[in-house]
Structure 1
Amino acid sequence: MTKFRVAATGHSVNYLPEYVAASNGFFEAEGLQVEAVVPNPWDLVLKELSDGTSHAALGGIWVPSMYKDRGKQLVPFAKVSARCPLAIVGRKKQEFAFNDLRDAVMLVPGGNGASPGMFLELLLAEHGVDKNSVKFVQNLSGSMLAELFVGGLGDYILLDPVTALRVERQAAAHIVAPLAKMGGAIPWSVYYSEAGSPGDDAELQKKFVRALNRGIEWVIATPAGDMRDLLAGLFPKADVDDVIRLVNDFRQWGMWDSATIEVASYDRWQQGTVAAYLIDEPIPYSSLVNAAITRV
């Protein structure tokens, strides 16, 4: 067995196909012993790559984008999440439109990367809403903002889906906009390596991708209720019925399709990365993504 270590920016329901590939023996069938770790703080994934501790990082493609030609060559080679998993929670039940955020106090976590705020601002722009018309509260952790929202701060909050369901019950609030359903396709969570590092090995990456694709196909084909024991073990702090509901919703909404990073959704996210001032102009797909790895 060849060890393949993944340094992830979190442990999340939207990463489920990787966990399935491990538990169902799909990685083992490729001769890989996959180990997943979640460094704290999240940006230690980059150190894991540069010192050879991990073969791949799992997180947002905006990170390789902003580092391109700025001291690191980080190369995305596969995708696990094709949608943003976050959800907007509001204080009343409503037919939500992004225009509803005008003049509203919007709580957006900022302690685990830039993606939540970046994607929300991209959606606002796509729906013709000036981001300056929204009263953002940012730069605090998701757990802190969730407590404050339950306590009465803000009109809306952007949360991970498990926390959103819990806050919905605690605060008599409502999930008004699950972004996996309403936000469109985006390469939300990708695997990337650092050029010249131990993880920059095409044959290893292809084996990983073959197993990952089997995991994606299995999750798409399998009702979440049939995964109850697996999901309970993977997410012991969450209500397993909440997780089952989320997985079935994600299956329906297209959270998982294949390990391939699609050009159209990549180009869309590049526009959001430009708007966040992390890159000066969109980076051509072929200049950043190693698309050959998913042609397996």
Structure 2
Amino acid sequence: MKKRWLKGSFSVFFILILMFSMAACSSKDKVLKVKVAEVTHSIFYTPQYVALEKGFFEDEGLDVEVTTVPGGDKTMTALISGGVDIALVGSETSIYVYAQEANDPAINFAQLTQTDGTFLVSREKVDNFSWDQLKGSTFLGQRKGGMPQMVGEFVLKKHGIDPHQDLELIQNVDFANIAPAFSSGTGDYVQLFEPTASVFEQEGKGYIVASFGKESGHVPYTTFMTKQSTMKDNSEMVEKFTKAIYKAQQWVEENSAQDIAKAIKPQFPDTDVELIATVVERYKSQGSFATDPILDEEEWNNLQNIMDEAGELPSQIDHSTLVNTKIAEGVMK
């Protein structure tokens, strides 16, 4: 009787082991590979790196691979051609694609940053900076038609500066070569992302004198987008991705710049953790990191106003046409 009971117990134990093994295999089979193209690799995108380093994507069953594809045009090409599943880029690019009558337009589904992320860097140290000091100078701006350049011009005009009359505006330098061009002697002022701006300051190559983010107000500066067909056919992946991003946004909101810097340090191995913390604090203090993934209508309209002011808006596009907030709203509930 005792032997029979032992045999039965071993049988049950074996079956349980088998079931757990099968469940584990099944779970592994459900891991979704997601390819993301980011327009640049910057501390400006901190919540994305938090989601990677803290395992928030893995918690949702996603294996996320991020590749840097410099330039909004190249990033969107990667998305539209099917080279990646998701693009992290300025929302203006979705308007450009839509204006070309794309059969499968790019849909904005999760906002990551809500202000401009660039800073005005002067070659010489400037005491008591004022914007009118740019008049008569050579200004190395960003690529024409991109969000940094349009916000840059918007801010200059706000301060009574005509970017095409009151200074020499250079905007034909490729995105990846703007910092090296300034470093080699081009321009009196340059518009740079972090951590490059702070690195230049550390090395004595330039000095941060103003923030374009503080000057321009809320705008959907960088969002995650995917093709309309992907929104329809792979909504589960989009929802899981958004859920991980929202979790990371909340984590960034609730933690100190120092703790955030330590978390994302592996993404910036050549940058000192103290410098990362300084940059994170700078972005946090000016509200650059979105605290939730919803791209609202007011921000969308502000984006189009800035594009229109720069002469780059093909046509007014309704918020509902290129923005999907349903997934983000569902995730937040």
Q: Does 1:272 align with 2:302?
A: no
Task: Tell me which residue corresponds to 1:263.
Answer: 297
Task: Tell me which residue corresponds to 1:288.
Answer: 322
What amino acid sits opposite 2:324 in the alignment?
N
Shift of 1:22: 2.1
Q: Does 1:120 align with 2:156?
A: no
* Structure-2 separation of matches of 1:199 and 1:139: 38
Cα 1:190–1:9 change in 2 (3 A) is: same
Task: Tell me which residue corresponds to 1:236.
Answer: 269
* Structure-2 separation of matches of 1:155 and 1:228: 31
Deviations 1:63-85 (A, max 9, x none): 10112141321111111111211
* Structure-2 separation of matches of 1:223 and 1:179: 23
Q: TM-score, normalization: structure 1?
A: 0.89
Task: Tell me which residue corresponds to 1:82.
Answer: 114
Task: Tell me which residue corresponds to 1:8.
Answer: 38
* Structure-2 separation of matches of 1:143 and 1:26: 30
SS at match of 2:66: strand
Task: Tell me which residue corresponds to 2:286.
Answer: 253
Cα 1:143–1:217 change in 2 (3 A) is: same
Task: Tell me which residue corresponds to 2:161.
Answer: 129
Would you say the 8 A contact 2:143–2:171 is kept in 1?
yes
Q: Does 1:185 align with 2:218?
A: yes
Which deviates the most, 40-49 or 7-16? 40-49
Q: Which structure 2 residues correspond to residues 1-150 of structure 1 after superposition, within 5 A?
A: 1-39=31-69, 43-72=73-102, 73-90=105-122, 91-110=124-143, 114-132=146-164, 133-141=166-174, 144-150=177-183
Shift of 1:150: 4.3
Would you say the 8 A contact 1:142–1:159 is kept in 2?
no
SS at match of 1:68: helix
- Runs (5+) with no aligned partner, structure 2: 1-30
SS at match of 1:130: coil
Q: By percentage of residues, which structure has more helix? A: 2
Shift of 1:94: 3.4
Which deviates the most, 266-275 or 135-144? 135-144
* Structure-2 separation of matches of 1:239 and 1:79: 28
Which deviates the most, 37-46 or 133-142? 37-46
Which deviates the most, 114-123 or 94-103? 94-103
Deviations 1:102-141 (A, max 9, x none): 2221111439x72221110111233333222221122124
State, as a whole percentage, how many aligned pairs show the same letter.
Answer: 27
Deviations 1:194-230 (A, max 9, x none): 2224786333222211110110110111112124443
Shift of 1:60: 0.8
Q: How many residues are aligned here?
A: 295
SS at match of 1:46: helix
Deviations 1:147-196 (A, max 9, x none): 45445543211111211112223346421112233332221111111222
Deviations 1:7-45 (A, max 9, x none): 211221121111211222222222222221223666343
Which deviates the most, 164-173 or 83-92? 164-173
SS at match of 1:54: coil
* Structure-1 separation of matches of 2:36 and 2:176: 25
Shift of 1:246: 0.5
What amino acid sits opposite 1:29 in the alignment?
D
Q: TM-score, normalization: structure 2?
A: 0.80
Which deviates the most, 271-280 or 217-226? 271-280
Would you say the 8 A contact 2:72–2:146 is kept in 1?
no
Which deviates the most, 175-184 or 238-247? 175-184
- Runs (5+) with no aligned partner, structure 1: none
Shift of 1:51: 4.0
Would you say the 8 A contact 1:193–1:200 is kept in 2?
no
